[in-house]
Amino acid sequence: MNKIVGRKKEIDLLQKIVKSGEPEFVAVYGRRRVGKTFLIKEFFENKFTFYFSGSENAAMKLQLKNFQIAFQNYFKTTIPVPKNWTIAFEALREGISHSKKGAKKQAKKQAKKQEKKVIFIDEMPWIETKGSNFIQAFEYWWNTYASSNPDILLIICGSSTSWILNKIIKNRGGLHNRVTRKILVQPFTLKECKEFAIKQKMLIDTSQILDYYMILGGVPYYWKQIDNSKGLPQNIDNLFFNNNATLKDEFSAIFNSLFKHSGKYITLVITLGKKRMGLTREEIVNLSDLSDGGSITRMLEEMEQCGFIRSYYSFGKKQRNKIFQLIDLFSLFYLNFIYGRKKNDGQYWTNNFSTSKHNAWRGYAFEQVCLWHIPQIKQKLGIFGVSTNYSAWKSVENSAQIDLVIDRNDQIINLCEMKYSKDEYTITKSYNDILSKRYRIFTSETKTRKTVHTTMITTVGVKQNTYSGNIQSEVTLHDLFVF
């Protein structure tokens, strides 16, 4: 496990699962390139009772041939290519049973408790080809054999989140409530990216890590593409803007791998990218060509499960007009600088690194970074153990808005102002007047009885001057690297 960066919660859960005295059915899912397979393989050090991976766009015949090869490699016995998945899973049952007999003999010799038999089926969504009846065969195998064996640990994995959610986790048939554990593998935090950078021997400081994070998010594969011998502008050009850029087509590939009918999801992302604070379901329908119905509700749920969007109720408007906001940093960068781009400039980022458009984008991207690090913000404010709700707020007449409101159960509300700056942020008289106005409008319109604090979240900190004393609390970039 020495190669695993971060993933403490996931590792802790896997350790509990391994020690469980019950049969376990674990569903691992998450966006493309986030490191799902790597996590499982490294945790178990590639020591599986059986490991098999689906192949993208492969017919059933080839999938079954690959199953046969995997079976023979793991169980050291020859079998013919299964004619269907029912026969394949019956062979798997026999293979596991024979390996268990051998394990029992060994256990008696060593006087040790028998260990879990780890069955890892990777990229499962690719295995279910048209007319294959794969799900039916898998369901039968689990219900009639694996679910009654306490030493069985089944792990399934796949990037197609919609498939995992709808066919497995939310299955209403024979697999209903069969999944015992769910592991959603999320992108790295800033701290985990720092650990990854150190492991990759990248000579970059926290400020540069933030700059990369605002573009790449916390997806390990993207970070692995960074060339240590080049600076950030050159790396971004190589990743996105050169003719052979590594991530040039990644945006569409993400959604093609995650969702069936990916075009609708791309339309949804593009629509949400048009409004900074997010859109209601009704506004999404009005601004896109997506039809109003149950499918859009499912799409929004799946997008939130994957961490591309967040949903919240505007402060003071509980249970009404839920707002959906795009928070995926990679997608936000793509929509701002690559989507619809006609000009072919292989050094675009290098040549435009400090333009007003880029600076405006950094301000917004930093806000999204903060939304990915709410626990770290709470830690700095000393309220990590306090129950909170967070949302955004806009005044009735649109004369004021606050992008992050932390509503605390200890009768305090933090109005968070998030500002990106290379140096200490200076609160000028005009900005102080804006803060005062927002405070007055917020307290007046919401009629809150809680104490309201203004919190500045900045990269370097707030410069001490006449107006800095009006801020009740501060959070800096350093504080977002806590855990």
- Comparing 134 with 321, the larger pLDDT belongs to 134
151 part of a folded domain: yes
212 part of a folded domain: no
Segment 342-364 shows an average pLDDT of: 89
Whether residue 178 is found in the same domain as residue 39: yes
pLDDT of residue 319: 66
Give tens-digit pLDDT for 116-130.
Answer: 999 999 999 999 999
Whether residue 301 is found in the same domain as residue 431: no
464 part of a folded domain: yes
Give tens-digit pLDDT for 13-39.
Answer: 999 999 999 999 999 999 999 999 999
Residue 439 domain boundaries: 382-481
pLDDT of residue 342: 77
2 part of a folded domain: no
239 part of a folded domain: no
Domain boundary among 281, 312, 337: 337
pLDDT of residue 100: 63
Is pLDDT above 60 for 110? no
pLDDT of residue 116: 93
Domain boundary among 163, 184, 205: 184
pLDDT of residue 368: 96
pLDDT of residue 113: 47
Give tens-digit pLDDT for 381-406.
Answer: 999 999 999 999 999 887 899 999 99
The total number of structural domains that make up the chain: 3
Whether residue 14 is found in the same domain as residue 124: yes
Whether residue 122 is found in the same domain as residue 39: yes
The overall average pLDDT reported for the chain is: 93
Give tens-digit pLDDT for 207-224.
Answer: 999 999 999 999 999 999
Domain boundary among 128, 151, 184: 184
**CATH number, domain at 119?**
3.40.50.300
**CATH number, domain at 262?**
1.10.10.10
Whether residue 177 is found in the same domain as residue 262: no
pLDDT of residue 105: 52
Whether residue 59 is found in the same domain as residue 146: yes
Whether residue 333 is found in the same domain as residue 386: no
pLDDT of residue 112: 45
Segment 316-327 shows an average pLDDT of: 84
118 part of a folded domain: yes
With the C-alpha atoms ordered 304, 310, 313, 318, is the resulting torsion angle positive or negative? positive
pLDDT of residue 102: 56
Whether residue 316 is found in the same domain as residue 448: no
Give tens-digit pLDDT for 414-472.
Answer: 999 999 999 999 999 999 999 999 999 999 999 999 999 999 999 999 999 999 999 99
Segment 277-302 shows an average pLDDT of: 90
22 part of a folded domain: yes
Residues of the chain above pLDDT 90, percent: 84
pLDDT of residue 111: 39
**CATH number, domain at 462?**
3.40.1350.10
Whether residue 71 is found in the same domain as residue 138: yes
162 part of a folded domain: yes
Is pLDDT above 70 for 107? no
pLDDT of residue 246: 95
Whether residue 62 is found in the same domain as residue 167: yes
Whether residue 307 is found in the same domain as residue 393: no
Whether residue 392 is found in the same domain as residue 454: yes
pLDDT of residue 109: 43
